[in-house]
Amino acid sequence: MTTVGLLGCAHVHAATYVAELRRLAPRVRVLGLHDEQPERSRRFADAHGLEVFATAESLCESVDAVVITAEHARYAGLARVAAERGCRILCEKPLGVDAVSSDELRALDAWASVAFPVRYAPAVRQARRAFRSGSLGGLLAMSGVNHAPAPGGFFADPQLSGGGAIVDHVVHLADALRFITGCEYADVFAEAGRLHADSRVEEVAQVVVTTTDGAWASIDPGWSRPQGMAGGVDFEMQLWFEGGRVLVDAFARHAVLTSPGGRVAHLPYDPGIDAAMLADWVGAIEDGAPPPVPLEEGWRATRVALGALESAATGDVVDLQSKEIPA
């Protein structure tokens, strides 16, 4: 049995990960959590039947593996505590709030995987297989959209999140497009804006990336959907090749249930991408295999988001290859 703990519960995915990990019983036992805010930690623990640990160190000394679902700015420090105690790690994206914190995480001597559940969507896997078969020819262009309501919480605080919709959604899209095609990104240009006068982070953006092979991609991240909007969360990509076009709807396999109070639930037909990702992570731990999504893969996507933030602030095209930091 693999015992698992949560380092932080601020992230919107923390509750989902607990539920999905428990579905893997008896192979997995979710033991407890540590969070920087004791009251938040207690509320989450009471809601999910978990033990509260006073320190990250005490939690990591009590479990085999940890899922880092804290604020983005805390990832590197928490990962260091886990790595020093030999824990296997699943870290939420992005890899850090800047290149320095990302580099600190990458430099750790750790068995660590990055949480990129979109890689596990059946449509994404099918598109990857089609490209790898060689039948589509060379890559010409790509586009991707990922819209949702603003998640709130620490995501709205740039000191803790590192940014808004660009940090939240560009990372997923950049990784999914790269996962399908194997492309590497060369440079990025972005424009960003806010929908609310009191917002401290960008809520909408348009991002254009070029690849080292001369293809390009447009990425549309956005917290532009109102809470409770049916169909308000999407993740769609189009890819143009010499031999044809591929359309990918990563979230297609679900039903939408709207409650009388206006809350929208997305109910997958199959176990879902979070379940598939966590099952793969646990299986790799059990088998002594490498982490499913190494930290370097996380950096390849994170640097696109960080470059887009820089471009939006300066108005310049940002050379991503010059930003490379050796692992």
pLDDT at 326 over 60: no
> What percentage of residues in the chain have a pLDDT greater than 70?
98
Examine the pLDDT at 325 and tell me if it is beyond 90. no
User: Who has greater pLDDT, 62 or 227?
Assistant: 62
Only one residue has tokens 């579905």, namely: 23
In this prediction, residue 324 carries a pLDDT of 59
pLDDT tens string 141-171 = 999 999 999 999 999 999 999 999 999 999 9
Least confident of 77-86, 265-274, 277-286: 265-274
What is the C-alpha to C-alpha distance for residues 82 and 61, in angstroms, rounded to an integer? 8
Closest by CA position to 115, among listed 5, 276, 286: 276
pLDDT digits (tens, 9 = 90+) for 236-254: 999 999 999 999 999 887 6
- The pLDDT tens digits of the residues spanning 49-75 come to 999 999 999 999 999 999 999 999 999
Instruction: Go through the domains of the chain in sequence order and give each one's CATH number.
Output: 2-114 (3.40.50.720), 118-270+283-323 (3.30.360.10)
User: Would you state the pLDDT for residue 273?
Assistant: 94
CA dist., res. 204 & res. 228, Å (int):
18
Please check the confidence at residue 255 and state whether its pLDDT lies above 60. yes
Q: Whole-model pTM?
A: 0.93
Q: How far apart are CA 288 and CA 69, in angstroms?
A: 23
317 pLDDT higher than 80: yes
Token pair 């033990």 is found at: 51
Alpha-carbon distance of 258 to 262, in angstroms, equals 6
Please, what is the Cα angle at 25 between 23 and 26, to 5 degrees?
A: 165
Assigned token pair, 287: 């088998």
Q: What are phi and psi of 318, to 5 degrees?
A: -105, 125
Query: Which pLDDT band, with edges at 50, 70 and 90, does 78 fall under?
Result: very high
Unique residue bearing structure tokens 């297609």: 252
